[in-house]
Amino acid sequence: MKRTKTALLPRLTRILEDMGENIKLARLRRKLTAEQVAERAGISRSTLWQVEKGLSGVSLGAYAQTLFVLGLEKDLQSIAKDDVLGRKLQDAELSVGKRAPKRK
């Protein structure tokens, strides 16, 4: 079965690359080798390399395990925490239209 690759916008690609670079810098600041982090995270060194490059094909679980090993897992909790648009929509009490009934 052929895998399809999701095309990301350049802006999203850059965000992932920056995140990967931040993870790599965090590892280096802790003076941990790639082999140590990969072993503790339960991933291969090549997967860690992909995480540190910010590649989009890596599972979120691999990113989460790597952040956990580095003690940065709480950073995941801040994702979508400040949903400004969602809160504005909620405050404006905009409702989503009801779907039409299914045809028989």
The pTM is what? 0.78
- H-state helical runs in the chain: 10-29, 34-41, 45-53, 60-69, 84-91
Residue with the bigger pLDDT between 27 and 8: it is 27
**pLDDT score, position 63:** 95
How many C-beta neighbours within 10 Å does residue 80 have? 7
Hey, what CATH class is 10-91 in? Answer: mainly alpha
Q: Does the pLDDT at position 80 exceed 70? A: yes
Q: Measured on CA atoms in the order 55, 56, 59, 63, is the torsion positive or negative?
A: positive
Q: Where are the domains of the chain?
A: 10-91
**pLDDT score, position 91:** 82
Mean pLDDT to the nearest integer, 75-91: 84
Residue 30's contacts (CB-CB under 8 Å, 6 or more residues apart) are 70
